[in-house]
């Protein structure tokens, strides 16, 4: 079993925060598996200073699976390394299961591990099982005492047959799974996984997603996953945190995030459209991907329900023959691009913050209640 919330007997010392923000995450620091409040970090000084993280607050409940996304340079790695105690922030509090990571790094380290850069953490000359034993041992566990759990892990990750093979002789996808198994071998309760499905074929990727959900649901493992594969995020994560320019710009369930896209799209195919009618439609509606073939016109249109009815009325009034209408659902990849390119992200945190917090099944707050993000 993954370790439960703080059993160290340590009482969080709220006064110890490094200039904690007045915008505190809603989950109690003792209840949260991960508690970050007002995190800030600038590298270098003077003209060459780079502010990597500006004022990041987030909480993750035990057993929750969160996707951490953002474009290059958004501040994800700095945030993760700060939670792991690898970077000392300029300001902010970071706790793992109630333990202040910077005041008590060794105690916090008992609970947390990370697979940050793919399959680099393993010893390629050792066999798969030897790697697991090694990583359990450096976490202070007797490898013989946990061998049954390791067998189970190997079984679930489809690595049992390769248990006695040297890691260097495995395929890239297999190495990736060994890397994950090594992180989990130490019986930690919080894991950061960077691109966990990289190099896996579809079947292995799907199996791994199922396994990650099982570990979260059955063992209460808390996971923070970053991936460029939005399908993985959609499949595995309860919640998505999107960072941009050193800040959290979205903190929401995948479902609510997509539901927030009021304007869905439609793909329409229609006959009998003259150039004049097309010009009129283009002036009145947001048509994209317009293609004409023979007598048929195909286009996409971004429209809420009301606009869609106005469009169908217009088409009817012009005696157009509608051949087909399909809805185009927004997906997470689209949402991500919009949230990190446009201005929408700031309004989402500011306007939706409170209501999202109520809707979220975990009862966690989104990215604080605005504060400096305004
Ligand atoms: N050690 C460092 N020294 C100087 N600048 C740094 C350092 N680490 C990160 N940065 C800068 O801080 C900003 C945030 O970087 P960070 O690595 O946290 O972003 P990221 O979201 O993880 O990006 P990526 O997806 O590219 O890994 C970037 O502008 C980066 O160049």
Domain boundaries along the sequence of the chain = 14-111+188-258+342-369, 264-328
Separation of alpha carbons 178 and 185, rounded Å: 10
Residue in 66, 73, 100, 94 with CA at minimum distance from that of residue 82:
94
pLDDT level of residue 7 (50, 70, 90 thresholds): very low
Does the beta carbon of 117 lie inside 6 Å of ligand 1?
no
Separation of alpha carbons 71 and 82, rounded Å: 19
Tens-digit pLDDT profile for residues 126-154 = 999 999 999 999 888 899 998 999 999 99
Backbone torsions φ then ψ of 92, nearest 5 degrees: 110, 160
Separation of alpha carbons 350 and 139, rounded Å: 42
Question: Mean pLDDT over all residues of the chain?
Answer: 80
**14-111+188-258+342-369 CATH choice from 3.30.470.20, 3.40.50.970, 3.40.50.300, 3.90.550.10:** 3.40.50.300
Specify the pLDDT at position 118: 54
ipTM for the predicted complex comes to 0.97
Average of pLDDT values for 295-299?
A: 92
Separation of alpha carbons 29 and 317, rounded Å: 61
Does the beta carbon of 279 lie inside 6 Å of ligand 1?
no
Q: How many CB atoms lie within 10 A of CB 309?
A: 11
- Compute CA 318 distance to the chain's CA centroid, rounded to the nearest angstrom: 47
Q: Which of 52, 54, 56, 81 to mutate to test the pocket of ligand 1 (most atoms within 8 A of CB)?
A: 52
Ligand 1 atom 31 nearest Cα = 73
- Compute CA 200 distance to the chain's CA centroid, rounded to the nearest angstrom: 19
Q: Is 60 exceeded by the pLDDT of residue 349?
A: no
374 exposed, middle or buried (CB, 10 Å; 0-12, 13-18, 19+)? exposed
Does the beta carbon of 76 lie inside 6 Å of ligand 1?
yes
Cα of 78 to ligand 1 centre, how many Å?
Answer: 6
Backbone torsions φ then ψ of 371, nearest 5 degrees: 55, -135
Q: Which ligand 1 atom sits nearest the alpha carbon of residue 41?
A: 12
* Residues in a beta bridge with 37: 93
14-111+188-258+342-369 and 264-328: identical CATH topology:
no
Cα of 54 to ligand 1 centre, how many Å?
Answer: 12
Ligand 1 atom 17 nearest Cα = 77
Q: Is 60 exceeded by the pLDDT of residue 316?
A: yes
Give 241's DSSP letter: E
Separation of alpha carbons 201 and 211, rounded Å: 15
**264-328 CATH choice from 3.40.50.720, 3.30.70.260, 3.40.309.10, 3.10.150.10:** 3.30.70.260
Cα of 242 to ligand 1 centre, how many Å?
Answer: 15
């Amino acid at each position: 079993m993954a370790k439960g919330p703080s059993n160290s007997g340590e009482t969080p010392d709220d006064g110890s925060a490094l200039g904690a923000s007045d915008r505190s995450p809603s989950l109690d620091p003792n209840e949260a598996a991960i508690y970050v409040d007002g995190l800030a970090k600038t590298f270098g000084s003077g003209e060459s200073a780079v502010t990597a993280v500006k004022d990041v607050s987030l909480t993750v409940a035990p057993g929750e699976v969160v996707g951490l996304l953002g474009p290059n340079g958004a501040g994800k790695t700095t945030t993760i390394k700060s939670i792991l105690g690898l970077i000392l922030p300029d300001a902010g509090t970071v706790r793992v299961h109630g333990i202040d990571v910077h005041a008590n790094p060794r105690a916090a380290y008992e609970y947390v591990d990370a697979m940050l850069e793919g399959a680099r953490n393993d010893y390629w000359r050792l066999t798969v099982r030897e790697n697991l034993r090694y990583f359990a041992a450096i976490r202070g566990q007797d490898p013989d005492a946990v061998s049954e759990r390791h067998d189970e892990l190997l079984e679930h990750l489809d690595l049992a047959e390769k248990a006695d093979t040297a890691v260097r002789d495995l395929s890239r996808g297999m190495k990736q799974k060994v890397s994950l198994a090594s992180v989990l071998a130490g019986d930690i309760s919080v894991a950061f996984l960077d691109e966990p499905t990289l190099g896996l074929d579809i079947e292995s990727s799907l199996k791994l997603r199922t396994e990650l959900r099982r570990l979260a649901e059955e063992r209460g493992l808390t996971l923070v996953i970053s991936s460029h594969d939005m399908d993985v995020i959609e499949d595995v994560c309860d919640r998505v945190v999107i960072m941009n320019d050193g800040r959290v710009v979205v903190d929401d369930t995948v479902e609510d995030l997509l539901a927030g896209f009021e304007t869905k799209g439609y793909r329409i195919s229609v006959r009998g459209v003259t150039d004049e009618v097309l010009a009129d439609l283009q002036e009145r509606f947001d048509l994209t991907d317009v293609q004409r073939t023979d007598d048929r016109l195909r286009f996409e249109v971004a429209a809420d329900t009301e606009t869609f009815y106005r469009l169908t009325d217009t088409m009817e009034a012009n005696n157009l023959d509608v051949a087909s209408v399909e809805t185009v659902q927004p997906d997470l990849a689209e949402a991500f691009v919009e949230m990190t390119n446009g201005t929408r992200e700031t309004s989402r945190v500011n306007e939706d913050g409170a209501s999202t917090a109520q809707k979220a099944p975990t009862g966690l707050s989104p990215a604080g209640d605005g504060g400096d993000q305004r």
